């Protein structure tokens, strides 16, 4: 019997990341669902501090004033803190985009 190791979404357009395939080993860590997200996270972790800061600032410009106030003073944050903030903002942006896509009845 052959074991299937190439997991794709139902539509076939996205493959599951290796992290999600090994879920039981990584259950206590943030996990990328699809390979594209995993590659983006690796790319971001290789960025230098000022690059991460600029990306965070760019994303914050697109957010509401109340959210921007929550992240005031990020210039003094360390790289790992900026990576966490970047992930939070990307998650907020994703949720916001999903809400925009919901049809109001």
- 26 pLDDT exceeds 60? no
pLDDT over 90 (residue 60): yes
Given a cut of 80, whether residue 27 has pLDDT beyond it is no
How would you label 2-15 residue by residue, b for 16+ Cβ within 10 Å and e otherwise?
eeeeeeeeeeeeeb
Alpha-carbon distance 42 to 91, whole Å? 16
Q: What is the pTM of this model?
A: 0.55
Nearest residue to 94 (alpha-carbon basis) of 44, 35, 32, 51: 32
Instruction: Provide the residue count of the chain.
Output: 105
- Burial class of residue 56 in the structure, from the number of CB atoms within 10 Å of its CB (0-12 exposed, 13-18 middle, 19+ buried): buried
pLDDT at 49 over 80: yes
């Amino acid at each position: 019997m052959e074991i299937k190791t190439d997991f794709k979404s139902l539509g076939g357009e996205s493959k599951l990341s290796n992290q999600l395939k090994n879920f039981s080993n990584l259950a206590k860590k943030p996990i990328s669902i699809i390979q594209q997200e995993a590659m983006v996270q690796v790319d971001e972790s290789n960025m230098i501090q000022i690059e991460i800061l600029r990306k965070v600032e760019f994303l914050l410009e697109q957010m509401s004033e109340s959210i921007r106030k929550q992240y005031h003073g990020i210039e003094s944050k360390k790289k790992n803190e900026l990576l966490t903030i970047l992930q939070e903002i990307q998650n907020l942006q994703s949720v916001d985009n999903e809400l925009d896509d919901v049809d109001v009845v």
